[in-house]
Amino acid sequence: MSNKEQAVLEPKLVNDIKGDFFIPSYQRGYRWGKEHIVMLLNDIWENGDNNYCLQPIVVKQLPNNTYELIDGQQRSTSLFLIIKYMKQVLPFIEVNFSLTYETRVKSAEFLNNPDEELANENIDFFHIYNAYTAIEDWFNDSSTGDRNLKAINLYKYFGERVKVIWYKVNTEVDSTDLFTRLNIGKIPLTNAELVKALFLSKDAVDITEEKQLEISTSWDLIEKELQDNNLWYFLTNQSPNDYATRIELIFNLMANKKQDEKEQFYTFYYFIDQIKTESKVKIWQEIQAYFLILKEWFEKRDIYHKVGYLVAIGKSMPAIIEESKGLTKREFEASLDQEIRNKLNLTVEDVLGLSYDNQKDKGRIEKVLLLHNVETIRRLNDTSVKYSFDKHKSNNWSLEHIHAQQSEGLNKKEDQQEWLGLHKTSLEQLPESTKEALKVNELIQKIDDNIESITKEIFDALFIEVFECLSENDDRSYVDSISNMALLSAANNSALNNATFDVKRNKILEMDKAGEYIPIGTRRVFLKYYTESKDHQLHFWGEQDRKAYINNMIGEEGMIIQYLKQEQKKD
């Protein structure tokens, strides 16, 4: 924001809007329809005694208490018509402002007295009259209450609860250029832009031009740093696409704005309140210090992984910052360990008892597997490698069975054919001695004979035979346990979802060669990293594989053992 665009910002109650507003020719006329009017009235009415904030109204001061209305014409006109109607119901109500359209002669007169006979004279009058009629219908709708009572309460809300953000720009600003950027250029007045204007406004007596330059430079540096998606996704689970400017995330964190917060300008109002008790210079210094703390955590390897994990599973960054206050680095890391322990709330026995078949357990399995992946990276000797929360949060991950469990979902002929084709390849790659012992060649011939004219009955029978050939034994009790689970990017075809270990292994290798992101724990599973070479059975996910996998997680020196609760001793 240049010096010419320095603004005076303040929340202003609707009943405190005063003066004569001039709507210049570079703006289109009034275009709100009935649905816009009804939505506004319903929102205000249903909000009741709670604070309600409308979008900013951008004005430039002209002589004699008049203003050029640069942005917010639709809202201002609608509010004027609502107040005008309420005055007809309750004569004591005051209308404190007026509106005039440069392009419409007698527009002010028509706004004061919407006349059906003149409504078709021009397009602006047509929309103004229809809006006024919609207001009249809303107040007269007995299903929502008495007309007079609604007028009394709405007028009270306008004087106590309903506000606009009054955005008065410097008189030197080029109004047409600003209007173009706000509307045609689609540059929204976000919380971040409003906060910036607070610190660079001309009424900031404690901020010199030198300090303004310093703030602007610092602002740009923080914004540039936040363009790094690795930093962004360390701080939040939200997409950067939800933000017009990324620095707004820092302001939201400082304001502890919840994701379900309905007040659009919650963060702006937070800083308005801060300025009432602290100087703007001091508040800006606090913003810089806040960001530097987050940047330091991002650069500290252990803290990065522990904080990043907690954020990924839903812990709020403001809560972590609050809990870190007054702690030494060692105490802070210990508190992070304890918080992870609290979030998991599992013992070794609990982990072993987790089952994919239990809906509640699915979320717990995901937390355990994510922590296993994060800790595996954190404990690498190569300290330049960090877990990529960016790539993790940019993908849709699902719990996948390392070895198939059943043919569920394979109902389409093309899916069944694809599944048989994938597994035929794995059968063909088995050692000859294994093929002969299990009569694999006969099974391959069966697949060839039936694949073109496959039926569900024939497929289910072949599925069982293939599964038995590509499994260590007939015992399937492990299929839903965590020892048979890995994080995989959500697949789009059920043929792979229901595949046996060898087929999935081949797919993972293809993905790895293509440079696709695969969590380190998942990659190691399918590369048989955890299993000693003497126990390798390349085509199966066997008992020794599962034991080695679990041992790497929760064995005596397991990656996540320190985050599990101790078993309570029984008397």
The pLDDT score that the predictor gives to residue 491 is 56
What's the length of the chain? 571
Token pair, residue 51, equals: 């604070």
The pLDDT score that the predictor gives to residue 202 is 53
DSSP result, 278-320: S-HHHHHHHHHHHHHHHHHHHHSHHHHHHHHHHHHTT--HHHH
The pLDDT score that the predictor gives to residue 20 is 93
Residue with tokens 């028509």: 110
- Which helix (H) or strand (E) element contains residue 15? none
CA atoms within 13 A on the CB side of 431: 7
pTM of the predicted model as reported, rounded to 2 decimal places:
0.73
- Which helix (H) or strand (E) element contains residue 477? none
- How many whole angstroms separate alpha carbon 384 and alpha carbon 306? 16
Instruction: Give SS3 for 68.
Output: strand
Token pair, residue 57, equals: 């109204």
Classify residue 238 by its DSSP letter.
S
- How many whole angstroms separate alpha carbon 524 and alpha carbon 541? 13
Among candidate residues 501, 561, 498, 500, the one with its CA nearest the CA of residue 531: 501
The pLDDT score that the predictor gives to residue 370 is 97
Token pair, residue 403, equals: 């070895």
The pLDDT score that the predictor gives to residue 492 is 47
- Tell me: the pLDDT tens digits for 404-461? 766 566 677 877 887 788 778 777 777 777 667 678 788 888 888 888 888 888 888 8
Given a cut of 50, the residues of the chain with pLDDT beneath it are 1-5, 185-187, 492-493
Estimate the crossing angle of helix 301-312 against helix 359-378, to 10 degrees: 170
Among candidate residues 101, 121, 123, 106, the one with its CA nearest the CA of residue 31: 123
